[in-house]
Amino acid sequence: MPLFDMPLEELRVYKPQRKEPADFDDFWRETLSEARQHDLAATFEPIDSGLETINVYDVTFAGFGGAPIKGWYLVPRHLPAPLPAVVHYIGYGGGRGYPLEWLEFPSAGFAHLVMDSRGQGSDTADMPNGVNPAVPGYMTQGILDPRTYYYRRLYTDAVRAVDAIVTRSEIDQKRIAVTGGSQGGGLCIAAAGLRDDVAYCLPDVPFLSHFRRAVDITPNNPYQEIARYLATHRDKIDVVFNTLAYFDGVNFAARMQAGAFYSVGIMDTVCPPSTVYASYNQVRSQKRIVEYHYNNHEGGGAQHLLEKIRILRELWLA
C-alpha cells in the first residue's frame, strides 16, 4: 500500500481543532455514575488452565447497565505482591478467546486482565439490547443519540474493567496500565481519559479517533460502516458526527494524565495515521510514539509488543 495520508512532517504536528460537545464531561460523569449504581459484583473464578507458572481466573463484573462482562485474569504464580497490572482491550469484532492467547504480560511479571467486548465475537452479550455476540458491525448501532450509541456501553465497560482489577489485593494501584490495538487502543485512550488513576496508556494503531477525517478518507471498515449509513441517511450527517464527538479519542487524549506510548502504521488504511496523530498530539503528559513507516494496520506486531513490555518493566520492575 503506498502512502496515502499526509507527509510525515505534517503528521507529526497535526493537531486539528477539537469539536467537543459543551456537556462532554457532564455526559461521561453521569454515565459512569449511573453504571456505578450497580454493584460491581466482580468475581474471579480460578480455572485449571494447565499452566505451571500462571494462575488463570474466569472474570465476571458488572459493566454498563449492570450487564455481566466477561474477561480473563492471569497472574504470575511465584512473584510476590504487590504486582503491576495491565488491563487489555480487544480489537474490533474480537473476543477474549482462550487464556493461552494472553501469556505475554503475565509471563513478563504483570497481572493481566483481558476484557471481553460486549456483543463482539466471544462470551459477552450486548445486554439489554441483544442475547448473543454477533459479527460486525457495531459502528452505527444507536448512533443518532449519544445516550443510545453502542460505544457508550463499551467505553463504560472499559472503565469498569479497571474498577474490577483494583479490587484485587495483589495489585499495586499506583502501577496500572491500559493497552490494546485498534479498537482496543481506542478503548484504552478512553479509559485513561476517564480515570485519573491509570498510570500508563499504550494504544497500538488506535481506532475511534478523529471520526470525520477517518470516515472521509479511509476506504476500509470499520469506519466505512458509518459512510455507508450516511449514504442512505443523507439528512443525518450532523446528528451522527455530533454523537461521535462524545466518543472521539481526540477528546479523551486531551484529558489523559497517564504517560502514553503510541504506535502508528504510516501506511495504515484502517486507522489512518492522521487520526492517530490527532489523538497523540493532544496528550499533555510524558509521551512517545513509534512510527512503522512501511506497515499497515498490523503496526509493529510482535516487535512493538516487546517494546511495550520493555518500557513497563523499566518503569516498574527494574
Positions annotated as catalytic residues are: 182, 268, 297
Q: Residue 299 and residue 317: Cα distance in Å, rounded?
A: 26
Nearest Cα residue to 200 out of 235, 183, 175: 175
Q: Which grid cell is 272?
A: 489512518
Cβ 268 vs Cβ 295: under 8 Å: yes
Whole-angstrom Cα distance, residue 226 to residue 214? 10
Query: What span, in angstroms and rounded, lies between the C-alpha atoms of 289 and 285?
Result: 13
List b or e across 233-250, with b for residues whose CB sees 16 or more CB atoms inside 10 angstroms: eeebeeebbebbbbbbbb
C-alpha cell at 236: 443525518
3 Cβ contact partners less than 8 Å away, ≥ 6 residues apart = 266, 267
Query: Are 75 and 170 in contact, with CB atoms under 8 Å apart?
Result: yes
First to last CA, the chain: 40
Residue 280 has φ and ψ, to the nearest 5°, of -55, -40
**Alpha carbons 158 and 35: distance in angstroms, whole number:** 12
Residues 6+ apart with CB under 8 A from 307: 261, 290, 300
